[in-house]
Amino acid sequence: MKVAYQNTLADLVRFHFYTLPRSRSMQIAAACSLAMFGYVTFGAVRHTVASPAIKVFTFVVMLGGLTGFLLLATSILSLLACIPRFRRETGVEHKVELSPEGVVEETTTGRHEVSWAGIYRIRRTRTAILIYVSEVAAHVIPKRCFSAAREADAFYEFALARCVEKGRRRA
C-alpha cells in the first residue's frame, strides 16, 4: 500500500500535542514538578494563621496556578524548539509504502526503511495515522491524503495486522 502526502505545520503540532503528554519521560517530569510545587506551596500555606479550609483552598489554587504556568511555559518552549524542524518538514512530499517486510518512507532528502519488528507502535487519531519508530518519533500520515475514509481504515488495518503478526503489542 502506498500513499503520498505533505505534512502541514498543524499536522506536526497536533502530533506533538498528542504524543508528548503520553511520553513516559514527560509524565515523570510532570509528576516531579507537581511534587516540587506541592511541597513549596504547602510550605508557604502551612504557617499561616487561617482555618484549615482556607489553607486547603489556598494550597489548591496556588498549586493549580503554578501547574498551569508550567504547562503553558513548557508548551511554548516545545513549540519554539521545534519550529526549525517544522519548517524543514512542511511542504516536503512524503511517500510511504507499507509492504509485508516493513515501512518505507521516501522524501526529496532521503529514504527511511524500517522492518515491522522495528515499529514501536501504531495509533490512529481523528486526523492522522501515526506509525511510531520510537516513543516520540513517528511517520505522521494525514487522513486527508486518502480519497475516502475506507482507504485510511484499510491502510491502518494493514499496518496493524503486520505488527500483530510479529507478536508485539502495538495498538
Question: How far, in Å, CA of 70 to CA of 26, rounded?
Answer: 12
pLDDT at position 137, please?
85
- Identify whether the C-beta of residue 105 lies closer than 8 Å to the C-beta of residue 112: yes
CA torsion angle for 43, 45, 49, 50 (degrees, to 10)? -150
Amino acid type, 80: L
Q: Output the pLDDT for position 134.
A: 85
pLDDT at 164: 67
Q: Could you give the CA distance from residue 160 to residue 130 in angstroms, rounded to a whole number?
A: 11
User: Which pLDDT belongs to residue 87?
Assistant: 63
In sequence order, what are the residues at sequence separation of 6 or more whose Cβ sits closer than 8 angstroms to the Cβ of residue 171?
Answer: 121, 122, 123, 160, 163, 164
Burial of 142: CB neighbours in 10 Å, binned 0-12, 13-18, 19+:
buried
Residue 113: its pLDDT value, please? 92
Q: Are 146 and 1 in contact (CB under 8 A)?
A: no
Which residue ranges form the domains of the chain, and what is each CATH number? 2-8+89-165 (2.30.29.30), 13-88 (no CATH)
Mean pLDDT by 10 residues, the chain (171 residues): 84 80 81 82 77 83 82 76 65 87 88 89 92 87 92 92 64 53
pLDDT the model gives residue 88: 63
Q: What is the pLDDT at residue 12?
A: 77
Beta carbons of 14 and 143 less than 8 angstroms apart: no
